[in-house]
Structure 1
Amino acid sequence: MRIPFGSLLPLCAAAALAAVLPLRAGAQAAAAPGCPAILQHTFPRLQDEKPQSLCQYAGKVVLVVNTASFCGFTPQYKGLEALDSKYRARGLVVLGFPSNDFAQEAGSNKEIADFCESTFGVKFPMFAKSSVRGPDASPLFKQLAQISGTTPKWNFYKYLIGRDGKVVDSYSSMTAPDDRAFVREIEKQLGAAPVAAAKPSFETRSN
């Protein structure tokens, strides 16, 4: 069936507008089969600001951490990278979200990326700087706060999400990545049966 040219104009205009609009950090992503609501968000990747859907981590145990480069807890980067490296094959992924909400992350995304790589060898996924608390918090952190009943009190606050996409618990900045009880809970969640889900067609981690 031939489609009149005029009827295509609104569709073309909408596509053009979507192409030029900047991605808001943590924007709600289109729902994907098997992707839990807590992961239906899109963030620019830290090193190149390329949009990344969190749906690519569906079925994994996800540790969400708000980070900063000039904080007393910044050395936790090393422990978080060790956690991600040790348990990656079993299904853990650490996701870092730099934030200047506590005035300790003033650098650009590129400066943050260079610092994390050169100082702590961070390879787990990191995303562009965004807000994690208050009215300007990204949709992801607003959702985490609503579900857990708590917002980040400081940098390196942690939220643990199970394979089923449910928030397991939240942990203060004082909880070190190698804390025994914390690691035991991660191992417990890793032992849970993987959630069957359609493989999302999103770009995989490369940092």
Structure 2
Amino acid sequence: MSIADASPGEPGYWIGQMQAVALRRDQACFMRIYDHFAPRVRLYLRGLGAPEAVAEELAQEALLRLWQRADTYDAGRSTLSTWLFRIARNLHIDRLRRENHWIAVDIEPALDCEEETEDPAFSSAESFAAHADLNERIDRLSAIQARLIRMSYFEAKSHQQISDELGMPLGTVKSSIRRAFQRLQASVQESV
């Protein structure tokens, strides 16, 4: 099956798209990545507190970085969504630091703990501990809740995509994710 015949829900689809961008500078593959991830990255940045216009700008900058650095992506270290969301997160932090009224923002728990990148911010013991703690909390959820959280937040799949992939009713997916997220929040608040 060629890249053109594959669908976004299939394993390895995004890896194939990134390989085409990295090796051949394939614009069609990049546009598929852009169309899928730009709204998700923008929403993620809005969740971090970025105003709509800033979130849009940072999302575009993150995807531009993806285009420029596609050859540095290593599928063995992280999923494409994790890699891209880390780029967006770092851009957001850099922007906050440049502003005169910078306030420290705790946004670490929003990321998946996959393999560490070469970025020094991700190699610290504190960062590793925070990621490990989040994964441990997710692992304490029921198996289906943990899977739904990972699919929704770390694989950037829409509720409809999750519903289709797992054969679950859309309403069940939405309510299960909401309950799982509430359990995670309660778990974090108990430890504070």
Q: TM-score range by the shorter chain?
A: under 0.3
Bigger fraction of residues in helix: 2
| Larger Rg belongs to | 1
TM-score, normalization by structure 2:
0.25
Bigger fraction of residues in strand: 1
Tell which has more relative contact order, 1 or 2 (C-alpha 8 A, sep 6+): 1
TM-score, normalization by structure 1:
0.24
